Amino acid sequence: MSYLPSGDRYDTMKYNRLGASGLKLSAVSLGLWHNFGGGDIYENGRAMVRRAFDLGITHFDLANNYGPPPGSAEETFGKILHSDLQNYRDELIISTKAGYYMWPGPYGEWGSRKNMIASLDQSLKRMKLDYVDIYYHHRPDPNTPLEETMGALDHLVRQGKALYVGISNYRADRAEQAIAILKSLGTPCVIHQPRYSMLDRWVEDGLLDLLEREGVGSIAYSPLYKGILTDRYLNGIPADSRAAGSSVFLKPEELTDEVMGQVRKLNDIARERGQKLSQMAISWVLRGGRVTSALIGASKVSQIEDAVGAVSKLEFSSEELERIEAVLGK
């Protein structure tokens, strides 16, 4: 039986304008960093993508190195896209990135024109697409002139291989330079993708102000701070969790008594709000409208359903915000 998306998929999701552009993103976006690779269960990834779309998530975020192995997440998504979502391509925002290591030799990473153009051509082949909606430079390159990297992004838009361009993991000073170069080329930077969560707030030191001033949208990745801002670790480390395994993303020593004390207090505030901690963490990132979308990862459908549930309660009282700040020591 062919897939038919839910007819009410746009009824409850919130869509936010991306900076000064004409594009809107779903308030919650789905990232395919992990759990969609060549070693993962295809039908689980397929079920998550389909359920996300049913719930109004229209933005699916990838990068050339996502997997593992690198490239396999794009291959998986391309397969899902063509089996289930091909008829809905114009309802989707598909993004990918280049900048991290992909192939041997001097052109397989960073931000040269050679790398940026070759990487997108490879990504389009893996996903069987003519274009992506957003193409990012994934990380700053200290050794390539910024004019070269941004010029490659401009070139790819003019070729029709990307509709919009953005940057990721850029600090405020470097981001300001990139935004100015793209503006001068006539291909504006529409989006920045940084880490941001209640436990990782570096973007508040100038970056968010810059983006607001320049009319650039933002999408926050890791809003649950490696899964710590959930109820997963409230009573210890589960045997099947990231922290219990050999994950390079979350190590047991990160779950200090101080951090877990904060998490338990935040969980109390979330419960009083009628939310799970994970939902409050997403709502908090989206508070006030300064962040366009919260980018989540997931390993099962229920996590996507929980995340989307945050959209129904994005407002915070001044008292709630003060209590959260007190817990975080800000």
**CA–CA separation, 13 vs 16, rounded Å?**
10
The Cβ of residue 295 has, within 10 Å, a number of other Cβ atoms equal to: 25
Which runs of E-coded beta strand occur in 254-314?
A: 293-296
Q: Which pLDDT score, from 0 to 100, does residue 241 have?
A: 55
β-strand partners of 114: none
Place of tokens 């901690």: 277
- Report how far residue 138's alpha carbon sits from residue 96's, in angstroms, rounded to the nearest whole number: 9
Instruction: Tell me the two tokens of residue 57.
Output: 């998530």
Residues 151/177, Cβ–Cβ less than 8 Å: no
Q: What is the DSSP letter of 81?
A: I
Backbone angles phi, psi at 303, to 5 degrees: -65, -35
List for the chain the helix, strand, coil content (%; round to 5).
45, 15, 40
What CATH number does domain 15-225+281-313 carry, 3.40.1520.20, 3.20.20.100, 3.20.20.70, 1.20.1250.20? 3.20.20.100
Q: In 55-96, which residue ranges form alpha helices assigned H by DSSP? A: 72-80
To which H or E segment does residue 191 belong?
Answer: strand 189-193
pLDDT computed for residue 234 by the predictor: 86
Cα separation, 31 vs 13, in Å, equals 17
CA atoms of 176 and 303, how far apart (whole Å): 35
Strand partners, 68: none
Please report, in tens digits, the pLDDT of each residue of the chain (330 residues total).
589 999 999 999 999 999 999 999 999 999 999 999 999 999 999 999 999 999 999 999 999 999 999 999 999 999 999 999 999 999 999 999 999 999 999 999 999 999 999 999 999 999 999 999 999 999 999 999 999 999 999 999 999 999 999 999 999 999 999 999 999 999 999 999 999 999 999 999 999 999 999 999 999 999 999 899 999 888 766 655 555 455 556 677 778 889 999 999 999 999 999 999 999 999 999 999 999 999 999 999 999 999 999 999 999 999 999 999 999 986
Q: Using H for helix, E for strand and C for coil, what is the string for 110-154?
A: CCCHHHHHHHHHHHHHHHCCCCEEEEEECCCCCCCCHHHHHHHHH
- Shortest CA distance to 223 belongs to which of 95, 137, 143, 314? 314
Q: How far out from the chain centre does Cα 17 lie?
A: 16
51 Cβ partners below 8 Å, 6+ apart? 301, 304, 305
Residue ranges per structural domain of the chain: 15-225+281-313
Residue 78's φ and ψ, nearest 5 degrees, are -60, -40
Q: Do you find a cis peptide bond into 69, omega within 30 degrees of 0? A: yes
| DSSP code at position 195 | B
pLDDT at residue 244, as a whole number: 46
d(CA 149, CA 115): 9
